[in-house]
Amino acid sequence: MRQAHTTLNVHTTHQGLFEITREIKAWTVGTGIANGVLTVFCRHTSASLTIQENADPDVVYDIQTFFKQLVREDPSLYTHTNEGADDMPAHIRSVLTDVSLSIPVIDGKPVLGTWQGVFLYEHRARDHERQVVLQLMGD
């Protein structure tokens, strides 16, 4: 069994979903590992990961709209408010999504469905440099 790992640096400019599928696929192919399991891990508590449809932008819009309604940015609702109105809601949104994904790799490629993409979900309103760690284990 072989292992490979790297860190993707993802610059976010606002709240929203930032697709990182292309970068993940390119790195996976470059490892030379044909079959295994790819772990994708977000090193932050106010951002997360999701696998979601990447064909219709309305899906991304609706997800963001839903989360804004579900977890309101109202400082009167939270005790932890020292980093701004979007801070505690960002932590809650991260709890409701994933910070780690496992994706099978077959024939050197991540196995994703036709309409699936991997997204970093930025929950904060301002620019951030996010780190996403990739680890591939296999043969």
CA distance 105 to 68: 34
CA distance 48 to 130: 10
Tell me the β-bridge partners of 100: 41
pLDDT tens sequence across 98-110: 999 999 999 999 9
Which residue ranges in the chain fall short of pLDDT 50? none
* Residue 2, pLDDT score: 98
CA distance 61 to 58: 5
> Which amino acid type is present at position 53?
E
* Residue 99, pLDDT score: 97
* Residue 31, pLDDT score: 98
In whole angstroms, how far apart are CA 52 and each of 23, 25, 117, 126?
16, 16, 6, 23
CATH code, 59: 2.60.120.460
Domain count, the chain: 1
Q: Look up residue 113 and give its two tokens.
A: 């469905």
* Residue 104, pLDDT score: 98
Q: Look up residue 91 and give its two tokens.
A: 């932590």
Range of the domain at 18: 2-138
